[in-house]
Chains A and B, each alone.
Chain A
Amino acid sequence: MKLRAIRLRHVRRFASNGCALENIEDGINVFAEPNEVGKSTLFDALSAALFYKHSAQSKHVAQLVPYDGNGAPLIEIDVEHCGHLFRIRKQFWSKPFATVTDLSSGEETARADATHDWIRSMIGADKPEQGPSGLLWITQGQSLEQPRGGEGRDGFLTDLLSDQLTSITGGSRARTVISRAESELGKLVTDTQRPKAGGPYKLALDRATKLEEIVDELTEKVLSAESELSGLTHVRKELTRLHDPAARRQRSDALNTANQNLETAKSAAARIEALNSNVAVSEANLTAARNDHDNFAAKSDEAAGLAEELAELKECRATVSHAQKVAEEVVRASKARWEELFDEHTKARQRMETVSAQRKVREARALLQQRRETLEQVKAAQSALADAQGAVDEIAVTQVALGALEDLEQERIRADAHVTAGQTVLEVCYDKGTTSRITQNGIAVLDGESVAISEATEFVVQDVATLSVRPGAGGDVSKAQADLIGINQSISKLLADVKVASLLEARAQLQRRNAAMSIVQQQAEVIARLAPDGVDALQSEVQKLTSSAEADGDEPLDEEDEEELRAKEASASEAFLSARNQHDVAVKEESILFGELQALTAKTETTEGRLKALHAEVGVPDGWEQALIKKSDEVAETQRQLNDLKKRLDEIAGSVPNLDQAQVAVKRLEEAKANVDDRINQLSISETTHATSLRHLQAEGVGELLERESDKLAAAKKAVKAHEFHIDSLNLLLTRLTETQDAVREQYFAPLRDELTPLLNTLHPGSRISFADDFSPARLQRGAMTEELERLSGGTQEQIAILTRLAFARLMAKNDQMMPVILDDALVYSDDDRIELMFDALNMAAADLQVLVLTCRQRAFENLGGTRLSLKDWPES
């Protein structure tokens, strides 16, 4: 269907004059008029004429009644359909009628209700919100509303595209499955697949966790019960053993026996002690007898030995005595020789010492002479030095003073030059032949004389004038003059201080002074060289040498050879020492012999004394053998007595218990008994502890509870596993179904996307639209970013709404379902740039379509192009 004209009368503001929008062409038609012209009235009237029966009295129809209240709403539409031009006329509300006329033949095609059926067959729908108009028309204020192509088999567009969509069946069933799977999954897990709080899966997990804790706790308790049971059994077994009457009796008997043994041992102890005492006495007797025997034997043997030794000693002493007497003679002879050589040596030494002393006197005299000459030289140098020093002392000019004078002189020269340069000078030069003279203070100034004027001075020019000359008030000259005076005064004072009249004299004086000082230095060096220790020391040395020489006198001195004398003295000394050594050897030998003799004498005396004492003890040798036999018999008798005593002691000790051992045994058994009692006490406590703990655990029924809770845990784990299996299965179903749906949807929307994409790319290059199952645009993908449509700007949303309708219209046109696209104020939010692009898209799409644009934005839509439409009256004929 293509729209060619709309006419209406008695509709809202259009009264009897009516209005007509005619000459609607293919492609774009623009009706741009300001508000209140009636664009929406045209839209509503078109909708009423196509979708409402003439007899309808619905709200939509009621809204069409004229404002002036006169006449019934009449709507006439010219449409082109299947190559023919038809006119649809409908009048509502009052005297309603409806007709369809084929304008080419003038025949009425349909009338009354048949008109509605004819329109429905032409359009494919009989309600404004359904069918192509619902898809393609945008009414005022709904520019953001996206078109919906219907759902499933009932959807208009689905029917339209049925050839391409044979693979789509049960869309709502799939959604139901997804919804149900998501619902079941949602009860079990969160969106991130974590167990959902309060859900059966989480409850099962929590229950399993809790039961695991309980089972662990009960397992511990069962182990504890086993342990307590084992402990109690062990303790009771031990107690039974300890309480065993036989064992107790055995322990008691052992203690009684030990006590009896102790008593027996104690009673036997006195007898044993007495026997032990007798044994001790007997052992002492035996020792004494043995000692007596051994002592006698030893002493008799010693006496025999001493007698032989004494004889030998006496013989040896006689021999040594003789040798000692011979040695005494040798000593006496060697001593005489030694004393003789000693005297000879003394004399040789004394002569050698005399000659040596005389040599030293001669040397002293020579030294004295030398020292006296040196002293004279020193004294001469001292005199020269004193003279030169006197000259130095007389001159006051020093190097420093002269330096100061030289400096002052320089300053004076500079100051004088300064004064001279700044001074007023009168130079007089008389003319030749003149006799006149200039006078100053009556004194004529000579020709060529210069007069320095330092103060107001009058000059008289004879017979001419008196000249008063005053020097200028220059400060520098005055100061220089003052300085010069000061410097001169300083120079005068300094000259006076150094006792000279001038600088020249000062310079000469200093030269002389320096010469004198040079002499002083030279003489001092001479003195220092001649008397390095000082003049006084030199004088003292001379005096000492003089005194020594005077003491030596003036006797003549021997001239004997001192070296020869020294050799003689050495020879004498050697002989003397040799004699002395020989004497010492003789003395030593004699002394040794004397010592030996003394020792032999003493030993002989000692041996004789000891022998005498031994004889006093053991008697004479003839009785020794008999005495020894007797003492041996005494030893044997004493030994026999001791053996008897020991035998008796062993017999008694072997027949009664050992006291120490008996005491230890009693102590040990008493301790053992106490230990058993302690052990029983400890075990009794332990028994109570084990029994109490065990009783509690037994009463609790830990084994039974453990099995019960373990069974519950197994069931809980099974439930968790079942939930997890169910969750995994649901996820699998959802994943597979979603993936399949995406693939199918991609195929499903391909024809529509083929139409839309070129249009969309005029505004949003490279973008792509995803559709919901009802064909409504759902998401816009730009590059890597996918955005939900409702999140986009209003301008973009309405642009997509228009472009999608254009795509729908193109798709329908290709399926021989031509319908005009009507856009009533559909571009409200788009900016100027985008409107221009939208115009391009509209023109591109409208090549095969009819597009009717109703707008109040006259200026903005000037560039849209297409056919401009205008209203004209449609009065009653």
Chain B
Amino acid sequence: MFKFIHTADWQLGKSFSSFDGDLPALLRNARVDVIRKIADAARAFGTSHVLVAGDVWEHEFPTDATIKQPLDILSACDDLTWMLLPGNHDPVRPNNLWDRLLRFGPPANVHPLLEPAPYRIREDVYVLPAPWTSKAPGRDQTIWMNSAETPPDALRIGLAHGSVVEFSGDASQSAAISDARASEAALDYLALGDWHGKQEVSRNVWYSGTPEPDRFKNNDPGWCLGVEVFGPGIEAAVTPIQTKTFHWLQSEIDVTSVDEPSDAMTTVIPDGLSRRETLMRLRLTGLCNLSQRSRWQARLSEVAASLAHLDVDWSNLQRLHRADDLDSIDQGGSLRRTADELSRMVDDTSLDLDRRGQAQHALDLLFTWVVDEDSEDA
């Protein structure tokens, strides 16, 4: 039996600069800090071996700091052995990223697996790595595992990066991994990277996902896997261990049936979640009137203040321009006439979407300002 930690897609150096303020730096730091969490998970799981299935770095040309600082953390975790595999983001090309790493003098406990050759972890345990040598290798790089020679009774653990044909559903993908690789190569476990969510592909074939989420995709990221391999024909035991700091939530609320926005928000932001470490993309759908929208806007402003980031997509929210809404702007006169005209523009399908959107925004502004003034007067 052999125990190890399966992780992948650290994507160190990923920018996140489309966000404002300090958030990009916090997110970048979280990706580095998650290494310690993985180390802790390994210790807790009772292993000293960590296999990283590709995309350790986000770019081929990262800064020196982006290479060196994680190495320092890995070095500090000297009770563990780290096996790093080049992926499609950080392929091994002569004189580039991995050579830079070698120039820095990688710690003794860090082993870049840069060749498709059996790597002996233990006398009876071999890792068969399939490193990426370019961003578009144009072939299944795990095919060599079929003919890889290891001692007869040794455990064979495949370490690869990329989509599996069956899993990706794209057989034409040039570097797709055969879904029969594990059986053809007599692998006791195939540790995969590339898919950022935790996912079992088939028996003894897993994607660990990224340990620290990096996008709004509900595919269960933020884990590493504790794996126990027992031998040929025996299913490996896989234990997911959560490692994430930030939560990237993507939700959709149909406002039509929502009376109180606060209630709806409670349902999409689970209790106990650290809101300041939560990023949310909220898509509002359904139908609402001007005053409801105003209420949503006010409530979401409050929620946004407590979250790390809130991105609201209003574009799918249909507005209902009810008479009482328009009456609250004015019952007659120029304001009402303007509101009526804007409302007509919003519903006018002969106008382009931009113009209709501008009309909606103008109507929202008109409503908000008039309501604001009325409430101030009151």
Contact = CB atoms under 8 A, between A and B. Distances in A.
Interface of A: 166-171, 173-174, 176-177, 180-181, 222, 225, 229, 232-233, 236, 691, 694, 697-705, 707-712, 714-715, 718, 725-726, 728-730, 732-733, 736-737, 740-741, 743-744
Given A711-B17, A711-B18, 6 more contacts: A168-B332, A170-B335, A698-B61, A701-B66, A702-B61, A740-B334
B64 A732 contact: no
A100 B14 CA distance: 91
Contacts of B63: 699-701, 704-705
B17 A712 contact: yes
B358 A714 contact: no
B369 interface: yes
Contacts of A741: 334
Contact of B331 (A169, A236, A691): A169
B337 interface: yes
Contacts of A229: 93, 95-96
Contacts of A236: 94-95
B366 interface: yes
Contact of A732 (B20, B62, B95, B362): B362
A174 B61 contact: no
Interface of B: 13-20, 24, 58-66, 93-97, 100, 330-338, 341-342, 345, 354, 357-359, 361-362, 365-366, 369-370, 373-374
Nearest to B362: A733
Contact of B64 (A699, A705, A710, A729): A699
A184 to B, nearest CB: 8
The 7 closest A-B pairs by CB, nearest first: A701-B63, A703-B61, A703-B59, A711-B17, A708-B15, A733-B362, A729-B361
Contacts of B59: 701, 703-704, 707
A728 B334 contact: no
Contact of A169 (B333, B338, B365): B333
25 contacts: A169-B331, A171-B333, A173-B335, A174-B335, A176-B370, A176-B373, A177-B369, A181-B365, A225-B61, A232-B94, A233-B93, A236-B95, A699-B63, A701-B13, A703-B61, A704-B63, A709-B17, A710-B15, A712-B17, A715-B20, A718-B18, A728-B354, A729-B365, A737-B335, A741-B334
A708 B332 contact: no
Contacts of B334: 168, 174, 737, 740-741, 743-744
Contacts of A725: 354, 357-358, 361
Contact of A176 (B60, B96, B369): B369
Contacts of B13: 701, 704
Contacts of B332: 166-169
A170 B370 CA distance: 10
Centre residue among A232, A691, A710, A732 by max chain B CB count within 10 A = A732
B96 to A, nearest CB: 6
Given A176-B369, A222-B61, A714-B18, A736 B338 contact: yes
A235 to B, nearest CB: 10
Given A166-B332, A708-B17, A733 B366 contact: yes
A703 B12 CA distance: 12
A744 B95 contact: no
Contacts of B354: 725, 728
Contact of A177 (B15, B16, B370): B370
B233 to A, nearest CB: 44
Contacts of A169: 330-333, 335-336
A725 B19 CA distance: 20
Contact of B15 (A174, A704, A718, A729): A704
A701 B69 CA distance: 14
A180 B357 CA distance: 20
B interface: dominant SS: helix
A179 to B, nearest CB: 10
A744 B358 contact: no
B335 A177 contact: yes
From B60, B338, B358, name the one whose CB has the most chain A CB atoms within 10 angstroms. B338
Given A173-B373, A715-B18, A736 B341 contact: yes
Contacts of B357: 725
A741 B333 CA distance: 8
Contacts of A174: 333-335
Contacts of A176: 369-370, 373
B349 to A, nearest CB: 18
Contacts of A714: 18
Contacts of B359: 729, 732
Given A232-B95, A725-B358, A170 B333 contact: yes
A703 B89 CA distance: 11
Contacts of A703: 59-62
Contact of A715 (B17, B96, B337, B374): B17
A174 B17 CA distance: 41
A805 B362 CA distance: 40
B378 to A, nearest CB: 13
A328 to B, nearest CB: 119
A700 B359 CA distance: 47
Contacts of B336: 169
Nearest to B336: A169
Nearest to A718: B18
A694 B62 CA distance: 12
Most central of A694, A701, A718, A741 by chain B CB within 10 Å? A701
A169 B328 CA distance: 12
A613 to B, nearest CB: 96
A164 to B, nearest CB: 13
A596 B111 CA distance: 123
Nearest to B361: A729
Contact of B362 (A180, A704, A736, A740): A736
A746 B356 CA distance: 29
A222 B59 CA distance: 11
A729 B362 contact: yes
A725 B59 CA distance: 35
A167 B331 CA distance: 8
B333 A167 contact: yes
A697 B370 contact: no
B89 to A, nearest CB: 10
A726 B361 CA distance: 8
A166 B332 CA distance: 8
B338 A740 contact: yes
Given A229-B95, A711-B18, A725-B361, A173 B342 contact: no
A773 to B, nearest CB: 10
A733 B337 contact: no
Contacts of A710: 15, 17
B58 to A, nearest CB: 7
Nearest to A218: B61
Nearest to A169: B333
A206 B359 CA distance: 27
A743 B333 CA distance: 10
A703 B100 CA distance: 14
B370 A173 contact: yes
B51 to A, nearest CB: 25
B17 to A, nearest CB: 4
Given A725-B357, A732-B359, A740 B373 contact: no
Nearest to A168: B333
B337 A740 contact: yes
B321 to A, nearest CB: 14
Contacts of B100: 698
A709 B370 CA distance: 40
A729 B94 contact: no
B15 A233 contact: no
A236 B66 CA distance: 26
Contacts of B14: 707
B343 to A, nearest CB: 11
Contacts of A180: 369
Contacts of B19: 715
A701 B15 CA distance: 12
A694 B333 contact: no
A589 B14 CA distance: 130
Contacts of A705: 63
